[in-house]
Amino acid sequence: MNRNKRVHRRTVLQAVAGTGFLLTLSPGFLLTGCDGGVRATESVTLGLDSEEYDVELDLRATPDSVPILPGAPSEVWRYRAELLKGPENTLTENTKSYLGPTIRLRRGQRVKIHIHNELPEATTVHWHGLHVPSDVDGQPRLPIQPGETMTIGFEVLDRAGLFWYHSHAHGEQGGRVGFQSYAGLAGLLIVEDDEEAGLGLPSGDNELLLVLQDRTFAGANELVYLDGGMRAMMDRMHGFLGDRILVNGVPPATRKVATRPYRIRVLNGSNARIYKLAWSDGRPVTVIGADGGLLPEPEDRPYATLAPAQRLDIWLDLSEAQPGSTLELISDSFQAGMMGGMGMMGSNALPLGSRFTLASLAVADSVEVNEQLPAQLGLQRQGIPVGSTTRIRSFELSPVMMRGFAINGRRFEGSSVAADEKARLGDTEIWEFRNNTPMPHPMHIHGLQFNIVGRRGGSSDSLQQGLVDSGWHDTVLVMPRETVQLAMKFERFAGLYIYHCHNMEHEDAGMMRYFQVQS
Ligand code: C2O
Ligand code: CU
């Protein structure tokens, strides 16, 4: 193997040094993950010499105290970052709340990140949606212990889109993704490329980034998560729902806008809440992009459904708006009753399916701009071709009495991989999720973007018309009793990856498995 690979291996080793449990394993096991190690099959850079990196960052996961609600600040865990090398606009700090800095990368950049864990427990950082080697994917099998640093490197291979990064820790006692993300360990990651830039979509002040989350607070503004008792038990089953909505880490706010088009990019960073995005005046929601970047062409929907971990890119043209008027982005009401009673049980003040405001856009300035929504958006990257000979791999989602949910009867067991969880590098497959439960599950697959081939059998409900299935995705909402087929291709990286439900409480309870891409 080349010199670069060795550099990469050493950094992984440094990161796990000092942890008794891992040290008892041979370095060979750690690095190859029982045959699941990184293997570059094309000329892909895994670990470059530092002078060859385009961007270098220090990223700290650290306790902090930030204002969220009026009154006392709240204790949080959050990411802080410092730019060591690279374009000045790489990092945008979120000074107003707990969200990590927004990281802006360009396709083709080689990025090196030193991740420092200043928390009292192990953590990892997962680059949600990015096509990166297994060893830098932030998987639970490579935890960063308290006080340790892990250095990772990757090349930005994805096309332009809105991605995000968050904790993916899962210890002996179970998952910590729900807790750590809820405590604040999440941030946006934007990939830009020439192709998207060529479309001239609204940018700068005319590009709104919205991270939707829900939180519950106690008397002195302390964050409350699964605080014991009957309610906590129900929350574990259904997923945690906060009783307040936060947008970018603070309560929903009013924002001054002008009579012009806007690009609104939304991440559902909530643990379990599903949003039904709509405009208060009933105008259609014009969706231009999803998880993996722009759609082939814009799509008008009465509303847009956004499940945990998903992103949507929305075009809003306020050219005709009256100065003085206000338009609200809302999450509209929907029926959650059929979803296993989710939201009806317990004492949540904001049950699933409630209607609330996410942002108020107050039209202040009248301006003359001539920006048109392009009729075609997705210039490159056609869909993955599938046919009658494409292998179908089927996964049944089923309930496990009192212990959450299983995938093909299995729950998370470290990095063990069953025979039917091994795929071949270079293959195209159809993955079929059959939801045999009364709850919706946002299923996420690491390391790639897939196409949604089709859905069948789901009870038609008040979220259906908002499901955006075209384009590229890394997370798909599988409705109760529904079967969804996804087309994916295992490219470039062999090794271990994860697939799981992104309802974080489901994931933490074991609705998560490793799969292996074999070269
Ligand atoms: Cu956003 Cu495996 O996660
Ligand atoms: Cu689930």
Angstrom distance (rounded) from CA 151 to CA 9: 10
The atom number, within ligand 1, closest to the CA of 129 reads: 1
Report residue 379's pLDDT band, with 50, 70 and 90 as the boundaries.
Answer: low
- Ligand 1 lined by 166 (C-beta under 6 Å): yes
Residue whose pair of structure tokens reads 């750590």 in the numeric block: 180
- Ligand 1 lined by 513 (C-beta under 6 Å): no
- Ligand 1 lined by 170 (C-beta under 6 Å): no
CB atoms closer than 10 angstroms to residue 126 = 24
Buried b (16+ CB within 10 A) or exposed e, 193-218: bebbeeeebbeeebebbbbbbbbbbe
Amino acid at the residue 360: S
Coil/strand/helix, residue 178: helix
Q: DSSP for 358-397, please give it.
A: EEEEEEEE---------S----S-PPPP--TTSEEEEEEE
Sheet order of strands, 110-117 included: 74-85, 55-66, 110-117, 149-155
- Ligand 1 lined by 276 (C-beta under 6 Å): no
Which whole number is the average pLDDT over 276-288? 98
Which pTM does this prediction carry? 0.90
Give Cα separations from 265 to 142, 210, 320, 473 (angstroms).
31, 6, 21, 15
Q: Whose CA is nearest to atom 1 of ligand 1?
A: 128
Q: Does residue 263 contact residue 202 with C-beta atoms inside 8 Å? A: yes
Report residue 403's pLDDT band, with 50, 70 and 90 as the boundaries.
Answer: confident
- Ligand 1 lined by 498 (C-beta under 6 Å): yes
- Ligand 1 lined by 500 (C-beta under 6 Å): yes
Amino acid at the residue 169: A
Taking the CA of 274 as reference, the closest ligand is 2
CA of residue 501 to ligand 2 center, whole Å: 5
Report residue 26's pLDDT band, with 50, 70 and 90 as the boundaries.
Answer: very low
* Position with higher pLDDT, 487 vs 1: 487
The atom number, within ligand 1, closest to the CA of 500 reads: 2
- Ligand 1 lined by 130 (C-beta under 6 Å): no
Taking the CA of 475 as reference, the closest ligand is 1
Report residue 29's pLDDT band, with 50, 70 and 90 as the boundaries.
Answer: very low
* Position with higher pLDDT, 12 vs 494: 494
Report residue 381's pLDDT band, with 50, 70 and 90 as the boundaries.
Answer: confident
- The pLDDT value recorded for residue 347 is 58
Residue whose pair of structure tokens reads 């099959």 in the numeric block: 41
Portion of the chain with pLDDT greater than 90, in percent:
79
Neighbours of ion ligand 2 (CB under 5 A): 441, 501, 503, 506
- Residues 443, 446, 448, 452, Cα dihedral to 10°: -10
Q: Does residue 304 contact residue 468 with C-beta atoms inside 8 Å? A: yes
CA of residue 240 to ligand 2 center, whole Å: 11
Angstrom distance (rounded) from CA 99 to CA 211: 9
Q: Using the 8-state DSSP alphabet, how is residue 458 labeled?
A: P
- The pLDDT value recorded for residue 405 is 96
Bridge partners of 39, per DSSP, are 494
- Ligand 1 lined by 168 (C-beta under 6 Å): yes
Q: Whose CA is nearest to atom 3 of ligand 1?
A: 128
- Ligand 1 lined by 9 (C-beta under 6 Å): no
- The mean pLDDT value of the chain amounts to 88
- Cα 249 to chain centroid distance, Å, stands at 16
